[in-house]
Structure 1
Amino acid sequence: MKYSVKHLLLALGALIVMPGVNADGDPEAGAEKVAVCAACHGQDGNSPAPDFPKLADLGEPYLYKQLKDIQAWDKAQGEAKATTGRAVPQMTGQLIGKSDQDLQDIAAFYASQSMQLSGAEEMTVQIYTGEQVNALELGERIYRAGNPETGVPACVGCHLPTGLGNEPAAFPRLGGQYPKYIETQLRAFRAGERTNDGDQMMMRMTAKNLSDAEIKAVANYIGGLNAGN
């Protein structure tokens, strides 16, 4: 319990003291710079396939940071790639030659768009006892209360009960995102394959004790989460 409370307080504190990422983009200018992005992410940031994230309404500071991190990884050479930015092989070459203002404008454009909800499914997941449990109920419990027994903090501390995130703190919207994408990212944070969550390792510390069943359940729940929940 102490572990859970500690990291929940850390997350809540970050909402107050984390300066976020400076971004001062022009969404109208960004609209002219995203043509190549549409094939994977859709013209308005609503990706047509769950292998690619929806970018619409994720928050300008968060989007700008991710673009900067992906660009940094792409530019890195040799062994430096293991410790630089964010590794997204599918983005190789896509941001080379883009200026900082270009990245800010692209982030501003996608942040100004409306996300289409993916929705959640009725399903069961198998927990450690071998029991099949309702995935929506488990997902909601993890999202709103975490798992005190294993030290998993609640998601609401950073991403809010509505799932809309905290834009000034660069915590992205989660509600409505593709469950498959959320699941993939949680697994990547848990495995240490994604490391661009800051020196405090907030997402890695959150994900490290999540079970496979909990990851699938919370990702599914998030897919149907919206401001009206």
Structure 2
Amino acid sequence: MMGRKLRAAANSTRRAWIALLWGSFAVAWLPSTAHADAEAGKAKAQVCVACHGPMGNSTSGDYPILAGQSARYIYLELKDFKEGRRSDPRMSPMAANLSKEDMQDLADYFAAQTLVSVPNKSDAASIEAGRKKAAEVLCTMCHLGGFAGQNEIPRVSGQQYPYIVKQLQDFRSHTRTNDAGNMTSVTRNLTDDDIRNLAAYINNLQ
């Protein structure tokens, strides 16, 4: 009886050690896999530099900053461009030939970069009005505190001021509709001044 208990305890201990070792091997593989994806994304992103800037830090208000953006959001936007749910004369042709792996690699690469924002020279009154409007329309319920974003909800803090204005206008006019109606609903009653104030506030968040 005692022998069976000892053997059972020994077997249990052996299984625990095997599980621990396999867990260690699995964890050990993670960094190399992530590194490979980042390197692949870096190479593929070279064509993006002309518009989105080195490492995704755009210096033009015509193009969004991608550095530090949610990887899931970038992937889904590329997929929408590819499949026609979102349209842009520059991005749609670029996304047309991307594979799922290409889009994942690019998303992982840009998400891993450090955002370098370009603050707009907005006056304090406009920024404060934007803060109040953001609180009024409950922006942080989706975009989180500091507009840091989450999963498929983009990070917009520090984003280019003209780009924020353009996207809010496009949502309001239904020119951009790949948002399941959420942003269309939020922007429906925004005035032009509201949009400019929101953009000033969000752009200046660091």
* Corresponding residue for residue 112 of structure 2: 112
Is 2:28 aligned against 1:46?
Answer: no
Partners of 1:50 and 1:224 in 2: how far apart? 14
> 1:41-80: per-residue Cα shift (whole Å, max 9, x none)?
012000121111111111011000000001112xxxxxxx
Secondary structure in 2 aligned to 1:98? Answer: coil
Secondary structure in 2 aligned to 1:88? Answer: coil
* Structure 1 unaligned blocks of 5 or more: 1-23, 74-84, 125-133, 147-152
Which of 59, 65, 68 matches 2:79?
68
Structure 1: which amino acid aligns with 2:117? L
Of Structure 1 and Structure 2, the greater helix share is in 2
Is 2:144 aligned against 1:160?
Answer: yes
Partners of 1:204 and 1:184 in 2: how far apart? 13
Shift of 1:35: 1.2
Partners of 1:173 and 1:92 in 2: how far apart? 22
Which of 165, 189, 192 matches 1:183?
165
RMSD: 1.6
Shift of 1:108: 0.7
Which of 170, 184, 193 matches 2:175?
193
Partners of 1:191 and 1:70 in 2: how far apart? 19
* Structure 2 unaligned blocks of 5 or more: 1-33
Shift of 1:175: 0.5
Secondary structure in 2 aligned to 1:86? Answer: coil
Would you say how many aligned residue pairs link Structure 1 and Structure 2? 172
RCO comparison, higher one (Cα < 8 Å, 6+): 1
Structure 1: which amino acid aligns with 2:200? N
User: What TM-score results when the alignment is normalised by the length of structure 1?
Assistant: 0.71
Shift of 1:92: 3.7
Shift of 1:163: 1.6
Instruction: Give the 4+ runs in structure 1 shifted more than 6 A.
Output: none
Q: State the identity %.
A: 37
Structure 2: which amino acid aligns with 1:163? F
Is 2:197 aligned against 1:202?
Answer: no
Is 2:141 aligned against 1:136?
Answer: no
Shift of 1:187: 0.3
CA contact (8 A) 1:120 1:222 kept: no
Shift of 1:96: 2.6
* Corresponding residue for residue 36 of structure 1: 47
Q: Mark the structure with the bigger radius of gyration.
A: 2
* Corresponding residue for residue 150 of structure 1: none
